Amino acid sequence: MQRLVIKGGRVVDPASGIDALCNIYIMGGRIASVKAAKDDETELIPGAPGLEIIDAAGLVVMPGLVDLHTHLREPGFEYKETIQTGAEAAAAGGFTTILCMANTRPVNDNQSVTSYIVNKAKGALVNVLPVGAVTVGLKGERLTEAAELKDAGCVALSDDGMPIVKSGLMRRALEYSKALDLTIISHAEDMELAGKGVMNEGAVSTRLGLKGIPNAAEEAVIARDIRLAELTKGRLHIAHVSTRGSVELIRSAKKAGVTVTAEATPHHLTLTDEAAAGYDTNAKMNPPLRAKVDVDCLRQALKDGTIDVVATDHAPQSVMEKDVEFDRAANGIVGLETAFSLVYGLVEEGVLTFNELVKVMSLNPSKVMSLDKGTLRVGASADIAIADLDAEWTVDPSTLKSKSKNTPYAGKAMKGKIVKTIVGGKIVFDCLKEA
Amino acid sequence: MKTKRKDLLGIENLTVDEIELLLSTAESFKEVSAREIKKVPTLRGKTVINLFYEPSTRTRTSFEIAAKRMSADAVNISIASSSAVKGETLKDTARNLEAMKPDAIVIRHSSAGTPEMLSRYVGCSVINAGDGAHEHPSQALLDLLTVKERLGRIEGVRLAIVGDIAHSRVARSNIYGFTKLGASVTVAGPPTMMPPGIERLGCRAAANMTDAIKDADVIMMLRIQLERQDEAFFPSAREYSRLYGLDADKLRTAKKDVIILHPGPVNRGVEISPDVADGPYSLILDQVTNGVAVRMAIFYLLLGASRET
């Protein structure tokens, strides 16, 4: 049987409490053993048939990253991204499992669309798990056949991109999904309150003369959803939390024992609405980039566990959607290939420990969705990311694997780089093999 | 005196010297419009394109006349006749126009930031003739010129701007322009139309109209778009007029020699009563006259021989 050994790296696996130099043995696509490097006397003969050795000295070895929030655009918008290119981008970013949202065309609201995605995903470099729609056509009117979606492969439910406007329907969705043990991911936005806003409402929108979206547009719906989760005991996960007020709502809900989890994106943790100055449409997203006080609060919430997960909200858009007037530009940025380095920036700044980074990017997302991922324990699938924390690089959109290049980080100097990504024991990304 | 600037995108990033240069140049061009033959050869052979994505009579005509009085060739493109309705993007339009080798594109657009984007696409000068709720620099310059002519100074002048501050590019450009030249600016309007953080632009936000105008040397009334009633910014034109319209009664609470500006077009009887609009304090038509001179100065300084390259 093929054996893969990752030798001498600093293994960080919060699930098993390991942060030490270890050798990881992989057989049959699974972790066979993890041995402390200093005690490991296993004789490895380089070049022996069936043996592959990765020298990870000076590198960090962690469970593959798990992204609960991506838009892979297939079916329907293949000119922006496909499952294949999205998975390539994920692999290059250290992600080994990604969830893809249902706002495709057609919407992933029935088993045939789910099966199409699952089929396409079989040839992809990383594990791609579909999220099914909560309501038919994301229209917020009628529940989807969630049991069938689950059978076809959906691991969660969300109308992401659109809020569920009707409170009664949201209540039923939270109740019904309990029997299926599926989490509802809420895109919390009061669209009437957000109005025609295109960025955060505040001093910057006033200066730029752009219409603003107040924090309350997000917070009002989060408050409602938390109450509904409390009422129904359903499983609620809040997508892309962006404001200080949202953090406070989630914090007090958790304290009160409500079953709610939450995610924040790397961009909401690292950029403020000032990024929109100069009318850079790559700084246009929904929810919008907020004020510094919100960013500081999100960072604190990530540290103290109020925010469980970092998720990218990877949202590829073509030049046609982005190289237009700010008011007309589409929302969103690509995030898979910059996420690790951006969050590592928070480690460098002292906001998180590296162990916490692995938690919020791998272990916690796996737990939130009850996925059998996010650990290097013996027997686990060998989904692994290897990073060089000293490597410095500059974001060059033209070299991104994603089909779309819409990133506000072009030209940004980064520290910490994914050098290898392994899925099921197979190397799916190797930076040394990049041109 | 020279300017290194390629574009005029707003007042926010102009220096005091640049604003003063524009105003003094405009003053010297006023005389041209008083001549029997209202034309100087300065910009002969230059081409100016007026690209208007939003309806405008006054501003477009003013830019066109200004270009013609400088002997430049002016071409007007308005949204009704442009490719925008056929779905051509701004970038494509810009590149196609650029290929015809204009010297300047004057752009008005309902989306803030569009002139700045355009300036990144083309090598010729870009002049902002109003972008969304962002800036309207030529309007602020003509307002400055009008006040300077009447009061002899800008420094120390107290300006009150009243109305829909949130949606007003005229308010923003004037806040920058007047404060840069040493005036103090107070804004007032319904709380629904007072944008957050407006003070950071350098003005004071007054609690009500009376407070805003009581010490003002200059009152600038903004045009109210009646469609905003439908978005619940105010309940009715009637109530708006009662609270924020400038009529003879409110005018009595202001200084005796206050002057009144309005960027036009005026909703008579809504933000300003007819007797006030036509009264002795009103400089509304002087503003229009000065608009031509200011736009001649803009063309001259951006396109004239004096521009450094």
CA distance linking residue B77 with residue B47, whole number of Å = 13
What integer pLDDT is reported at residue B73 of this predicted model?
97
Through-space distance between the first and last CA atoms of chain A, rounded to whole angstroms: 31
- List where CATH 2.30.40.10 sits in chain A: 3-61+380-434
pLDDT, residue A433, reads 85
Peptide bond before A287: cis, by omega within 30 degrees of 0? yes
Sign of the torsion formed by the C-alpha atoms of A103, A109, A113 and A115: positive
B236 touches chain A (CB under 8 A): no
CATH 1.10.730.10 fits A64-368, yes or no: no
Nearest CA of chain B to the CA of A213: how many Å? 12
Residue B309's pLDDT is what?
Answer: 39
Q: Residue A284: what are its φ and ψ, rounded to 5°?
A: -100, 120
Structure tokens at B202: 């350098």
CB contact (8 A) between residue B172 and residue A209: yes
Rounded distance, CA B263 to CA B140, Å?
9
Helix axes A216-232, A244-255, angle to 10 degrees: 10
Beta bridge partners of residue B105, listed in sequence order:
B49, B126
Which one of 1.20.1600.10, 3.40.50.300, 3.40.50.1370, 3.30.1330.10 gives the CATH number of domain B137-286? 3.40.50.1370
Q: Which of A134, A100, A168, A140 is nearest to A313 (CA)?
A: A100
User: What pLDDT, on a 0 to 100 scale, did the predictor assign at position B236?
Assistant: 93
**Burial class for B54, CB neighbours closer than 10 Å (0-12, 13-18, 19+):** middle
Q: For A204, which residue in chain B has the nearest alpha carbon?
A: B197
Q: Which of the residues in chain B have pLDDT under 50?
A: 1, 307-309
Which chain A residues contact residue B109 at CB under 8 A? 325
C-alpha torsion sign, points B33, B34, B35, B37: positive
Is residue A284 within 8 Å of A212, Cβ to Cβ? no
- Across the interface, whether the CB atoms of B200 and A324 are under 8 A apart is answered no
- Does residue A414 contact residue A391 with C-beta atoms inside 8 Å? no
Reference B165, options A207, A43, A153, A225; nearest CA is A207
Q: Does B110 touch chain A (CB under 8 A)?
A: yes
Distance CA B83, CA B77 (A): 10
Report the chain B residue with the minimal C-alpha distance to residue A325: B114
Token couple for A129 = 């798990």
Q: Do A207 and B201 touch (CB under 8 A)?
A: yes
- CA-based nearest residue in chain A for residue B90: A324
Q: What is the pTM of this model?
A: 0.95
Task: Name B282's bridge partners.
Answer: B260
Residues in B touching A322 (Cβ below 8 Å): none
Contact: B132, A327; criterion CB under 8 Å = yes
Q: Where are the domains of chain B?
A: 16-132+288-303, 137-286
Dig out the tokens for A186 from the structure: 């809420």
CA distance A288 to chain B (A): 16
Partners of B111 on chain A (C-beta within 8 Å) are 325-328
Q: The tokens of B45 are what?
A: 């052979």
- Taking the C-alpha atoms of residue A145 and residue A113, their distance in angstroms, rounded to an integer, is 13
Q: How distant, in Å, are the alpha carbons of B135, B136, B151 from that of B169?
A: 4, 5, 24
Tokens representing A389 are: 């924390």
- CA-CA distance, A72 to B3, in Å (whole number)? 49
Q: Which residue of B has its CA nearest to A323?
A: B91
| Residues 135-194, chain B, touching A (beta carbon < 8 A) | 135, 166, 169, 172
- The angle subtended at Cα A188 by Cα A186 and Cα A189, nearest 5°, is 145
Q: How many CB atoms lie within 10 A of CB B3?
A: 20
First to last CA, chain B: 14
Peptide linkage before B115 cis (omega within 30 of 0): no
Q: Which chain B residue is nearest to residue A201, measuring alpha carbons?
A: B196
Which CATH fold would you assign to the domain A3-61+380-434?
Urease, subunit C; domain 1 (2.30.40)
- DSSP-derived 3-state class of residue B102: coil
Can you give the pLDDT at residue A1? 66
DSSP strand pairing (A18-27 vs A3-13): antiparallel
> How many whole angstroms separate alpha carbon B77 and alpha carbon B54?
11
Sequence ranges of chain A with CATH classification 3.20.20.140: 64-368
CA angle A270, A273, A275 (to 5 degrees): 75
- Which of A206, A210, A320 minimises the CB distance to B198? A206
A274 to each of A285, B132, B144, how far by Cα in Å? Answer: 13, 19, 30
Cβ separation B89–A323 shorter than 8 A: yes
- Number of A to B CB contacts under 8 A, please give it: 71
- Which chain A positions have a beta carbon within 8 Å of B230's beta carbon? none
CB contact under 8 A, A210 and B133: yes
CB contact under 8 A, A206 and B114: no
Of the residues A109, A160, A273, A313, only one is catalytic, namely: A313
Q: What angle do CA A210, B175, B154 make, to 5 degrees?
A: 160
Of residues A195, A206, A328, nearest to B196 (C-beta): A206
What is the C-alpha R_g of chain A?
21
Residue B41 per-residue DSSP state: S
Which candidate from B91, B117, B196 shows the least CB-CB separation from A279? B117
Q: Pick the residue of A192, A200, A274, A279 with the most B CBs within 10 A to test the interface with B by mutation.
A: A279
From A284, A259, A262, A260, select the one nearest A273 (Cα to Cα). A284
**What are the structure tokens assigned to A152, written together?**
């076809």
Give per-residue pLDDT as tens, B212-261: 999 999 999 999 988 888 888 999 999 999 999 999 999 999 999 999 99
Closest CA in chain A for residue B114: A325
Interchain CB contact of B15 with A (< 8 Å): no
Query: For residue A370, what are the contacts with CB-CB under 8 A and spacing of at least 6?
Result: A181
- Which residue is listed with tokens 């209202």? B38
Q: Give how far A159 is from chain B: nearest CA, Å.
A: 27
Question: Is A313 designated active site?
Answer: yes
- If you search the block for the tokens 């308010």, which residue do you land on? B171
pLDDT for the residue numbered B307: 47
Which CATH number is B16-132+288-303's, of 3.40.50.1370, 3.40.190.10, 3.30.565.10, 3.40.47.10? 3.40.50.1370
Using CA atoms, how far apart are residues A157 and A186, in angstroms rounded to an integer?
Answer: 9
Q: Where are the beta strands (DSSP E) in A239-360?
A: 260-264, 309-310
> Across the interface, do B135 and A209 touch by the CB < 8 Å criterion?
yes
Are β-strands B47-52 and B73-78 bridged in parallel, bridged antiparallel, or unpaired?
parallel
- Inter-chain residue contact B113 with A279, CB threshold 8 Å: yes
Q: What whole-number distance in Å separates Cα of residue B102 and Cα of residue B168? A: 30
CB atoms within 10 A of CB B155: 11
Question: CB–CB of A326 and B91 under 8 A?
Answer: no
Name residues of chain A where pLDDT drops below 70: 1, 435
Residue A279: closest C-alpha in chain B: B113
Binary contact (A206, B195; C-beta < 8 A): yes
To the nearest whole angstrom, how far is the Cα of B201 from the nearest Cα of chain A? 7
Integer Rg of chain B from CA: 19
Chain B residues closer than 8 Å to A325 by CB = 90, 109, 111, 113-114, 117
